[in-house]
Amino acid sequence: MEGIEMKDVEVKHTVAEFEEVLRGKGLRRTIPRMMILSILVESSTHLSASRLHHLVTAAQPTISISTVYRNVTAMTEHGLLHGVEYAGQTRFGIAAAPHHHVLCERCGVLADVAVEDLAQTATNLMARTGFEISPSGQVLRGRCRQCRDDRRPAVACRAPSRPVA
Ligand SMILES: [Zn+2]
Ligand SMILES: [Zn+2]
């Protein structure tokens, strides 16, 4: 990850502190950026650009979807956010606090995994394959507990009890 001081970013997890992080990356502190960051920090999850747009416009109705796209893209390129793909959609989360993910291929539920949980595996893989494994942002795909218990065949009729952002 080019030029990102993960150590610095890691400890700066409040919205106020993100202002400083934005500044440090040469990104201006704009209302859409601060809103996107604050929504992601508060929800502590990963959200699609359209979901983010929906939440942003609740407070700032004039902000367009393209503004949201442009800003999540810029912040992703600068290492503040990262994206997780599912069903043709990208959900964005705060990359500043390093973590991995488990993703349910059936219902799309996403959960964070501590970097320590994969550290030894990553070290082994590096030794065996020669690949430098990214220290965060990995996605392990599988089935969540609820989908493992659910014998119904397809995605279609799942009750909306757990919203997929
Ligand atoms: Zn993430
Ligand atoms: Zn599931």
pLDDT tens-digit readout, 17-27? 778 888 888 88
Residue at a domain's end among 94, 119, 140: 94
**Strand order in 81-86's β-sheet?**
47-48, 89-94, 81-86
| Domain at 144, CATH number | 3.30.1490.190
119 found inside a domain: yes
Q: How far away, in angstroms, is 136 Cα from ligand 1 center?
A: 8
How many whole angstroms separate alpha carbon 34 and alpha carbon 100?
24
| Domain at 22, CATH number | 1.10.10.10
Q: Which one is predicted more confidently, 134 or 8?
A: 134
Q: How far away, in angstroms, is 31 Cα from ligand 2 center?
A: 35
**Residue 11: pLDDT band by 50, 70, 90 thresholds?**
very low
Q: What is the pTM of this model?
A: 0.77
pLDDT tens-digit readout, 129-159? 999 999 899 999 999 999 999 877 655 544 4
66 and 133, same domain (yes or no): no
Which domain covers residue 119, as residue numbers?
100-149
16 found inside a domain: yes
Residue at a domain's end among 94, 113, 128: 94
Q: How far away, in angstroms, is 130 Cα from ligand 2 center?
A: 33
Q: For residue 99, which of 45, 142, 52 has the smallest C-alpha distance?
A: 45
Within 10 Å of residue 81's Cβ, how many Cβ atoms? 21
pLDDT of 57 higher than 90: yes
What is the b/e burial string over 37-51, where b = at least 16 CB atoms within 10 angstroms of the residue's CB? bbbbbeeebbbbbeb
